[in-house]
């Protein structure tokens, strides 16, 4: 049995458990406020920004550690606490406990890329974020990358799926953006599926992956398609805030790892969501 710890175990962490064989993986999730355990997931109440508490949670020893945090607030301080402090506490605790996990996966974001000229971006592209979120994520990545423990970084693009209906609601409320900038997204099920794929193929891992679907698309085209499915007219708003950046993210490395996307395009994922409403 491989013992897996998911730090900040929210929606993606719970979805991940459905992709991992229970006869191979024993899964523990830590978060501040814990829901009831499931058949495949045992929760532990822990604040990962509390170094002493995190060290105590790690004491039993884990083979695989996945960090998938959600900031308490969208601010520089919120991102520093959720990502930088958590990663720093983790590395210090593992060192103090003299533990050597087989793998640490840090779930990051493509916010670390600041390209805004519509160009293609892959794992080798420069990371020079101007936003506080990108800067803090890059800082946390460096802590894990330089930790001395086996690790890989996964940079998700914009996550959508059940419970993440922002674009659908913007169309319904006639607040959608007419931006022609390219946007990128990935369904929550593919986030979980790709993380499981990495766990099952640890011998072949690259240092960093961009995880995104195969359809970078201008925002106005995405919301226009959603509006057509909903038969909503006059859905654009001149006051809508445009998406940050303008880039086309490549998922070539992700696909070359052998992973097959469940939702290759936004149309596939949103069509399912709209059918379930």
In this structure, which topology does domain 2-163+185-216+249-263 adopt according to CATH?
Rossmann fold (3.40.50)
Q: Over the chain, what is the mean pLDDT?
A: 96
Q: In angstroms, how far is the first alpha carbon of the chain from the final one?
A: 39
Task: Domain ranges for the chain, please list them.
Answer: 2-163+185-216+249-263
Mean pLDDT of the 39-44 span: 95
How many CA atoms are closer than 13 Å to the CA of 174, on its beta-carbon side?
A: 3
Strands (E) in 58-212, as ranges, are 64-67, 103-109, 120-121, 151-156, 158-160, 182-183, 185-187, 208-211
Chain centroid, CA 32 distance in Å:
19
Q: Any idea how long the chain is?
A: 277
6 forms beta bridges with 29, 66
- In the beta sheet, which residues pair with residue 15? none
Share of the chain above pLDDT 90, in %: 96
Q: Which of 31, 7, 17, 1 is nearest to 196 (CA)?
A: 17
> Is it the case that residue 16 has pLDDT exceeding 80?
yes
What's the CA gap between 210 and 36, in Å, rounded?
Answer: 32
Question: 197-227 pLDDT, tens per residue?
Answer: 999 999 889 999 999 999 999 999 999 999 9
**What is the average per-residue pLDDT within 27-36?**
95
Going by pLDDT thresholds of 50, 70 and 90, the confidence category of residue 238 is: confident
Task: From residue 218, give the alpha-carbon distance in Å to each of 23, 176, 185.
Answer: 43, 13, 11
Strand, helix or coil for residue 146: coil
pLDDT digits (tens, 9 = 90+) for 60-94: 999 999 999 999 999 999 999 999 999 999 999 99
Residue burial 23-36, b: 16+ Cβ < 10 Å; e: rest: eebbbbbbbeeeee
**Mean pLDDT throughout 249-271?**
98
Q: Would you say the pTM of this structure is higher than 0.85?
A: yes
- Determine contact, residues 241/177, Cβ cutoff 8 Å: yes
pLDDT of residue 239: 83
Give Cβ neighbours of residue 5 (< 8 Å, ≥ 6 apart): 28, 29, 30, 57, 58, 62, 64, 65, 66
Count of H-run helices and E-run strands, the chain: 10, 13
Characterise 163 by phi-psi region: left (phi > 0), alpha (psi -120 to 50), beta (else): left
Q: What is the pLDDT of residues 87-137, one digit of tens each?
A: 999 999 999 999 999 999 999 999 999 999 999 999 999 999 999 999 999
242 band by pLDDT with thresholds 50, 70 and 90 = low
Collapsing DSSP to helix, strand or coil, 200 comes out as helix
Residue 108, pLDDT score: 98
């Amino acid at each position: 049995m491989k013992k897996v710890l998911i730090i900040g175990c929210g929606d993606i962490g719970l979805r991940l458990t459905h992709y991992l064989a229970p006869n191979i993986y024993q899964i523990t999730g830590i978060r501040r406020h814990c829901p009831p355990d499931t058949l495949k997931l045992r929760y532990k109440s822990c604040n990962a920004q509390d170094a002493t508490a995190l060290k105590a949670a790690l004491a039993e020893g884990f083979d695989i550690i996945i960090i998938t945090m959600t900031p308490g607030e969208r601010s520089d301080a919120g991102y520093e606490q959720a990502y930088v402090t958590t990663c720093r506490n983790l590395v210090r605790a593992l060192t103090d406990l003299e533990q050597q996990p087989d793998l640490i996966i840090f779930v990051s974001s493509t916010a670390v890329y600041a390209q805004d000229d519509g160009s293609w971006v892959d794992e080798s592209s420069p990371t020079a974020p101007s936003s506080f979120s990108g800067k803090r994520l890059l800082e946390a990545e460096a802590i894990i990358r330089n930790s001395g423990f086996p690790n890989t970084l996964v940079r998700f693009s914009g996550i959508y799926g059940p419970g993440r209906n922002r674009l659908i609601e913007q169309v319904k409320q006639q607040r959608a953006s007419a931006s022609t900038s390219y946007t990128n997204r990935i369904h929550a099920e593919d986030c979980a599926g790709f993380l499981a794929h990495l766990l099952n193929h640890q011998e072949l891992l690259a240092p960093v992956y961009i995880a995104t679907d195969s359809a970078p698309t201008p925002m106005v085209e995405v919301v226009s398609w959603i509006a057509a499915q909903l038969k909503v007219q006059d859905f654009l708003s001149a006051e809508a805030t445009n998406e940050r950046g303008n880039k086309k993210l490549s998922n070539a490395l992700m696909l070359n790892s052998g992973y097959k996307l469940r939702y290759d395009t936004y149309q596939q994922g949103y069509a399912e969501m709209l059918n379930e409403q």
